[in-house]
Structure 1
Amino acid sequence: MAVKNNSGEEVILDCDYSLRPDDDDLAVKWYLNEEVVYQWIPPRKPQSLGRLKDKIDLSFMATNDPKSVYRAMKITNPTSEIAGEYKCFVSTFTDEDFSSKQMIVFEPEKTLSIEQKSDGNSINFTCFATEVYPIPKLILFKDKKDDFHNRNPLKIMQWDTIRTSSGRFSVHITATAAFKSIAPGSLIHCELRISGTAYVKRKTLLYYPEALRNGSYGTGNITHQLLILLIYFIFFKMFVTS
């Protein structure tokens, strides 16, 4: 299960069980990473404890059966500090059992960017992701404009991860490629994925060598030359028609 941090969503963790007619002394407890955070011992009302204190809707009823009515937890607005493994423990006087499930509370990146830089012999592509939780997976790959599905992963030469003061992560990866291996006009993508969730984000850069991106090629400035020719053409036309 995955939910966005502080999104205002409500999450229901259910604990489905069946009892024999003669089962008594029922107790239902929920644990978060081995810490008791919820318990219901009929006929008393359910309680929220520990990190989930005041974060559970204690009026929520999972069923109309008095023996299972408060078996589930309805968590209001989950945040990253209550992510982890949840275990439901059910016991009676004669038996006990448990089940567990993982809840991921993720925080999308604050920024995702990609840039290029050359050293004269090769080209470096660097992708930056900031303030994301948990640690994401970043992939750099290239493809032609008309062939998006034909991915060509770039070889990652550097990967750095920093834990920020907020508890989230900032990550960057750098891939290096030879000039001849990437044709001008190729699309360079950085894809961010958060494991255990369906969250995917992509940033794309249209690659051109630095000389073309800066408007120069060889020893001349193409943009400057074209502008001069255009001015000459306009004046020449005005002179001829006057």
Structure 2
Amino acid sequence: MYTECIAVNIQRIEVPPLVEVGTEAVILDCQYKTNNSSPPGLVMKWFFNGSSGLVYQWIPPLRPQVIGLLKGKVDLDFRISGEPLQAYRAIKILKPTTDLSGNYTCVVSSFIEEDRQTRPMLVYSPGKNFHFVQEKKYVFLVTLICAAEDLYPKPEISISAQGNPLKQAVSEMKMNSWGLYAVSMKAVVHDDDVTTPYEKFTCTLSLPSANFTTNRTTIYYPGLMPTAYIAAYEVEKTHERHSNGNLPLSRKLTVQLLSVLISTRFVI
């Protein structure tokens, strides 16, 4: 008796849990069955984040309608089945963006009964311009700088040496108008803290909700001159090669460099 009263029943709902930004398309499918070849008042709907977020509606044999958040982002010609009561049960979302992250609910109803199921989908962005660099303004100090932008969801970042996070590292995070995050972290390291000829530092960037992790490494050699002086040295050296061929560094430049290093030590 109870079985005869149920006109529609959702067997399975397929929603990809993780989608990377840049994916061409994703398909959300709601597989259902009816115990009537033509159940009266059959309506198939998709909701985003609750019953107030209707985004898709199909009333056979009419064409489907896209509403609200998904308008202009769905392939309305996509048919997942040749059967008249199953053809447009799925939605094909084109180039999904991070704002489409949320819970998707499929609702199939008739005049007799209704059934629904919900699944989450996270559209994540691994970001861009992820870099990890050294900045040396003083003789015995180096600043490690790690940064990335256009990340989603909220990222986590750390700088470590030999597997141990640097306690002195300070992070900063901002969100733009599109809801994407930019994150940076800085850590100042003194040469005295490096007890080996060189130290390998690792910056780890992760999106815990998306199960995504990546990293960058940099190797620091204690005792190097400040970055600006090294750059000036290289410019002068290049200029000298262009002017005089492969001549050694001039005595004048040597004196200048020594003067710089001596004055720097007095400043410190």
TM-score by length of 2: 0.65
**From 106, 128, 140, the counterpart of 2:159:** 140
Deviates more, 1:10-19 or 1:105-114: 105-114
Measured against aligned partners, the alpha-carbon deviations of 1:85-131 in whole angstroms (never above 9, x if no partner) come to: 22212222232222222222233323122234678887653321123
Identify, as 1 or 2, the structure richer in helix: 2
Residue 153 of structure 1 is matched in structure 2 by 165
Deviation at 1:83, TM superposition (A): 2.8
Q: Which moved more, 1:114-123 or 1:199-208?
A: 114-123
Q: How far did 1:206 drift?
A: 0.6
CA-CA distance at 1:52 after TM superposition? 1.2
The aligned residue for residue 126 of structure 1 is 145
Q: In structure 2, what is the Cα distance between the partners aligned to 1:130 and 1:2?
A: 20
Query: What CA distance in whole angstroms lies between the structure 2 residues aligned with 1:182 and 1:64?
Result: 70
In the TM superposition, what are the counterparts of 1:63-82 in structure 2 within 5 Å? 63-82=81-100
| Alignment deviations for residues 42-72 of structure 1 (CA, whole Å, 9 cap, x no partner) | 2222111112112211222222333222111
How far residue 171 of structure 1 moved from its aligned partner, in angstroms, is: 0.7
From 215, 219, 222, the counterpart of 1:206:
219
Deviation per CA, 1:1-35: give whole Å up to 9, x if none.
33333x26111011122322374322111112231
Given that 1:114 and 1:204 are in contact with CA atoms closer than 8 Å, whether structure 2 keeps it comes out as yes
**Superposition pairs for residues 29-68 of structure 1, below 5 Å?**
29-34=45-50, 35-68=53-86
**CA 140–95 in structure 1, closer or farther in 2 if over 3 Å, else same:** farther
Q: Within 5 Å, give how 1:83-122 maps onto structure 2.
A: 83-116=101-134
What is the aligned partner in structure 2 of residue 187 from structure 1? 200
Q: Structure 2 CA distance, aligned partners of 1:106 and 1:210?
A: 42
Moved more, 10-19 or 171-180: 171-180
Once the 2 structures are TM-superposed, how far is the Cα of residue 84 of structure 1 from its aligned partner?
2.3
Rounded to whole Å, the distance in 2 between the matches of 1:58 and 1:83 is 21
Q: Residues 184, 21 of structure 1: CA spacing in aligned structure 2 closer, same or farther, 3 A cutoff? A: farther
8 A Cα contact 2:139 2:226, kept in partner: no
Q: What pairs with 1:214-233 in structure 2 (closer than 5 Å)?
A: none
Please give the TM-score of this superposition, normalised by the length of structure 1: 0.71
Match of 1:170 in 2: 182
CA contact (8 A) 1:156 1:173 kept: no
- Range moving further from structure 2, 172-181 or 67-76: 172-181
% identical aligned pairs: 33
List alignment gaps of at least 5 residues for structure 1: 144-150, 217-222, 229-242
Equivalent-residue separation in structure 2 for 1:62 and 1:69 (angstroms): 5
Q: What SS does the aligned partner of 1:211 have?
A: coil
Equivalents in 2 of 1:9, 1:93: separation in Å?
37
- Structure 2 stretches lacking a partner, 5+ long: 1-16, 230-248, 255-268
Give the Cα separation in 1 of the matches to 2:139 and 2:225.
14
Contact residue 4 and residue 105 of structure 1 kept, 8 A: yes
User: Does structure 1 conserve the Cα–Cα contact (< 8 Å) formed by 2:194 and 2:222?
Assistant: no
How far does residue 181 in structure 1 lie from its aligned partner after superposition?
Answer: 5.8
Query: 1 CA distance for matches of 2:141 and 2:112?
Result: 71
Structure 1 distance, partners of 2:187, 2:222, is 16
> Is this contact kept in 2: 1:125–1:176, CA < 8 A?
yes
Q: Determine whether 1:12 maps to 2:27.
A: yes
Instruction: Provide the rounded CA distance (Å) in 2 between the counterparts of 1:184 and 1:68.
Output: 68
* Residue 3 (structure 1) aligns with: 19
